[in-house]
Structure 1
Amino acid sequence: MKKATETSSQITKAAEKSSTDIDTSVENKDKLKIKYSEHKNLLDILTKLPTHTMESWKWSESERIKFVKFIQKNDFALSSSPYFSKFSLIGANTIGIQVVDGYWTLAIYKIKTNNYIAITDDIVGDGNDLHAFEYKDGQLIEINFVNLFDNNFFSNLLINDKDECEGLLEDSLIGFEYDFSQTTNIVISNSSYLKEREHQNCLKGNTMNYKFNSGTKKFDLTATYWKKSKE
């Protein structure tokens, strides 16, 4: 009887330890609170994106659906997974994901109810892989990213069209960074390479601020200016 009692006690303790280990493991993971009802469109669009928008790291549609269903059920996400090292919610309209070789972003801009412009940015060693879509009533249609802006786009920074100035701008395109963290604005900047003291004869600035126009489904230029490098 004593041996049987000891065995039963050992099994109970082992079960308790196993349960504690599991709970502790979950508790120790970084949790990111995400209220699904407040970010439904952003998360739904995440599940529908084609895989070529995340070419450098791959996250299958089925795994993204599982990820979003978990958030829908629990109102939080585990900030790391086998597919990425850190998942972040940047403001109301933007997801940022740290991956092994770079950083990936999804941002959405509201046209009207259940209708958004969605932009992805896969930052890899050779620059930004940008894609744009219109999301309407659950359907995602790819559009040309450049067509979201006016015809001049980067040329808005030029003071004149001298060959040397156009060459300077063209050579620096790969260094531009895109900030999608604001609800209605995109800030596009290359403060690391383009400096006011060195390039003011060619350029009006190294930064452009664009504001989303839901009526035209495009971004309107609101400002060009010089931004100092973080270095």
Structure 2
Amino acid sequence: MKIFSAKYDSKMQRISGRHLGFFSILLALIFILGACGHVTTRKTGDNSAGIPKKDSVKTGAIDRGGNTAIKDKVSINFTQHKTLLDLILLLPDDAFSSWEWKPEDRLKWYNEIKANNFYSDATTKFSKQKYFEPDRAGFMIVDGIWSINLYHATDGSTIVITDDHVGDGHTLNFYEVRSNKLKEYKEGESMLSGFRETLKKTDPVEHCSEKFDELEDLIFEYDFSKNDKIEIESSWYLVQESYGNCLNGNAIQYRFNPQTKKFDIEKIYWKPKQRE
């Protein structure tokens, strides 16, 4: 019996030793797995790892007037552009001859800018702003561009010219605004010295009646890009080689005179043209 007991005790010691070794390994694995699973959560906004932060709002392009388009919002500083914004409200409906911008829609647009210094593209359903500066603005419309241009006189009044350019034609409207009251010039082109007559030579060396008649139907382009100047030029086929004996040029450059509230001719010249 003693021999059996000794063998049994020896066997149990070997089994216990094996179990102790197994449990030690198991505990070590549990400890390692627990340590790996313990991850410290970084607070939102913590940039301690040096990861660059992304802007929350994507900024769009900036136009010459310093106005920034952000998604569907167009930024306009109300204070800086108040004069132009006020004048757009004053315009009669016929200033928008090829499209419709009703007074109530303009007022909604105006109030949105006044309150927020921006407006939503959805506010102007049929147009898209091309540029907006203190004295000039342009909007892309369905099949052309509509623009408004301001010229300030010394007596405190403002000359306003709108250009509704659709297809190959231009519809110009001329107004004078003073003390928030608008007066329309029915013969507005007289402010531009009757440019068609100005282009004609008074003593041509050949018979020019047919070429003079062409001026009445000729398409002219208007450049309002400079604040105090307007340039008018003819279409591509009016070139010096063919019309030099009858005309003084194919382009006229005007400068606004704030004393007389007229546009004085700076120069008449032949502008190079490329045949289309």
- TM (norm. structure 1) is 0.78
Query: Equivalent of 2:212, from 166, 175, 187?
Result: 166
- Unaligned 5+ runs, structure 2: 1-56, 59-68
Give CA-to-partner distance per residue, 1:10-41, whole Å, 9 cap, x none: xxxxxxxxxxxxx99x952253x322222211
The equivalent of 1:181 in structure 2 is 225
Tell me by how many angstroms 1:68 deviates. 1.6
Tell me by how many angstroms 1:179 deviates. 1.3
Is 1:220 aligned to residue 268 of structure 2? no
Q: Please state which structure has a larger fraction of its residues in strand.
A: 1
Query: Equivalent of 2:150, from 108, 124, 141?
Result: 108
Give me the whole-angstrom Cα distance separating, in 2, the residues matched to 1:68 and 1:216: 32
1:16-27 alignment, distance < 5 Å: 27=70
Give me the whole-angstrom Cα distance separating, in 1, the residues matched to 2:91 and 2:125: 16
Give me the whole-angstrom Cα distance separating, in 2, the residues matched to 1:118 and 1:43: 12
Give me the whole-angstrom Cα distance separating, in 1, the residues matched to 2:176 and 2:226: 18
Any idea what SS the aligned residue of 1:216 has?
A: coil
Query: Equivalent of 2:190, from 129, 143, 147?
Result: 147
Tell me the matched-pair count.
204
Query: Is the Cα–Cα contact under 8 Å of residues 195 and 252 in structure 2 kept in the other structure?
Result: no
RMSD: 2.5
Query: Is the Cα–Cα contact under 8 Å of residues 177 and 183 in structure 2 kept in the other structure?
Result: yes
Tell me by how many angstroms 1:185 deviates. 0.6
The equivalent of 2:251 in structure 1 is 207
Give me the whole-angstrom Cα distance separating, in 1, the residues matched to 2:250 and 2:132: 24
Give CA-to-partner distance per residue, 1:28-59, whole Å, 9 cap, x none: 2253x322222211111101101111121110
Percent identity between matched residues is: 35
Give me the whole-angstrom Cα distance separating, in 2, the residues matched to 1:74 and 1:193: 48
Query: Is the Cα–Cα contact under 8 Å of residues 93 and 182 in structure 1 kept in the other structure?
Result: no
Tell me by how many angstroms 1:83 deviates. 3.2
Is 1:49 aligned to residue 95 of structure 2? no
- TM (norm. structure 2) is 0.66
When residues 83 and 194 of structure 1 are mapped into structure 2, their CA distance, relative to the original with a 3 A threshold, is farther
Higher relative contact order (CA 8 A, sep 6+): 1
For residue 225 of structure 1, what is the amino acid of its counterpart?
Answer: Y
Greater C-alpha radius of gyration: 2
